[in-house]
């Protein structure tokens, strides 16, 4: 706090100014403490078990205590986000939210389905179950869908120019090698 008082010129510095700066510092700290205290009530990512339970009841979601806290937060999030129109653009945005991945969507109009292809993730993306739940909740009932995953091909594998010993030094199992990206 002395550094804040030193900013004021010696001419303007008096006990009133010092008291004002002390008061402002105390109030600023109270505000920071209030933000920390109430952020779990305001921001979904900070919800605790009790807040999640209240939201699940409010939104008529089936309460599943076997899910992780993050999965339960994600269920609330996709219910909130499901109020938008289901479109390829909306689906691409939700893929980023749920899986941290980019997708490509191919619509097959004459057969009433669409294909979701993950383009930025090898293997099965994380949090895929919640993404599928989001799709099921929001897609029109008459549409089907397929999900296509990408895995490393032999050509991609060879492009890394690593020997088998170099791959072994990475300490990856086969599944990790299929998903590997530098």
pLDDT tens digits along 42-95: 666 667 778 878 888 887 778 888 888 888 877 777 777 766 678 888 888 888
3-state secondary structure 78-143: HHHHCCCCCCHHHHHHHHHHHHCCCEEEEEEHHHCEEEEEEEEEECCCCCHHHHHHHHHHHCCCCC
Q: Please answer whether residues 105 and 139 qualify as being in contact, where contact means their C-beta atoms are separated by less than 8 angstroms.
A: no
| CA dihedral (137, 143, 146, 147) positive or negative | negative
> Phi then psi for 138, rounded to 5 degrees?
-110, -25
98 Rama sector, left if φ>0, alpha if ψ -120 to 50, beta otherwise: alpha
CA-to-CA distance for 82 and 133, rounded, in angstroms? 10
What is Dmax (Cα atoms) for the chain?
Answer: 82
Q: How high is the mean pLDDT of the chain?
A: 80
3-state secondary structure of 144: strand
pLDDT bracket for residue 38 (50, 70, 90): low
- For the cut 90, the answer to whether the pLDDT of residue 129 exceeds it is no
- For the cut 90, the answer to whether the pLDDT of residue 115 exceeds it is yes
Q: What percentage of the chain reaches a pLDDT higher than 90?
A: 12
- For the cut 70, the answer to whether the pLDDT of residue 106 exceeds it is yes
Tell me what the mean pLDDT of segment 159-166 comes to. Answer: 82
| Pick from 25-34, 123-132, 136-145: least confident | 123-132
The answer, as to whether pTM is greater than 0.85, is no
pLDDT bracket for residue 35 (50, 70, 90): confident
pLDDT bracket for residue 105 (50, 70, 90): very high
In 3D space, the residue among 24, 25, 5 whose CA is nearest the CA of residue 15 turns out to be: 5
pLDDT bracket for residue 143 (50, 70, 90): very high
- For the cut 70, the answer to whether the pLDDT of residue 120 exceeds it is yes
């Amino acid at each position: 706090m002395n550094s804040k008082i030193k900013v004021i010129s010696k001419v303007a510095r008096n006990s009133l100014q010092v008291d004002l700066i002390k008061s402002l510092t105390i109030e600023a700290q109270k505000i920071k403490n209030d933000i920390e205290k109430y952020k779990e009530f305001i921001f979904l990512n900070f919800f605790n078990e009790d807040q999640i339970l209240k939201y699940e009841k409010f939104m008529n979601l089936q309460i599943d205590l076997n899910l992780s806290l993050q999965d339960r937060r994600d269920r609330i999030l996709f219910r909130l986000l499901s109020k938008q129109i289901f479109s390829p653009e909306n689906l691409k945005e939700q893929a980023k939210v749920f899986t941290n991945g980019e997708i490509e969507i191919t619509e097959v109009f004459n057969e009433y389905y669409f294909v979701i292809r993950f383009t930025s993730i090898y293997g099965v993306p994380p949090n895929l179950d919640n993404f599928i739940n989001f799709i099921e909740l929001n897609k029109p009932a008459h549409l089907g869908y397929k999900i296509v995953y990408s895995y490393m091909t032999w050509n991609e594998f060879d492009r890394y120019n690593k020997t088998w010993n170099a791959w072994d030094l990475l300490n990856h199992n086969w599944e990790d090698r299929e998903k590997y990206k530098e």
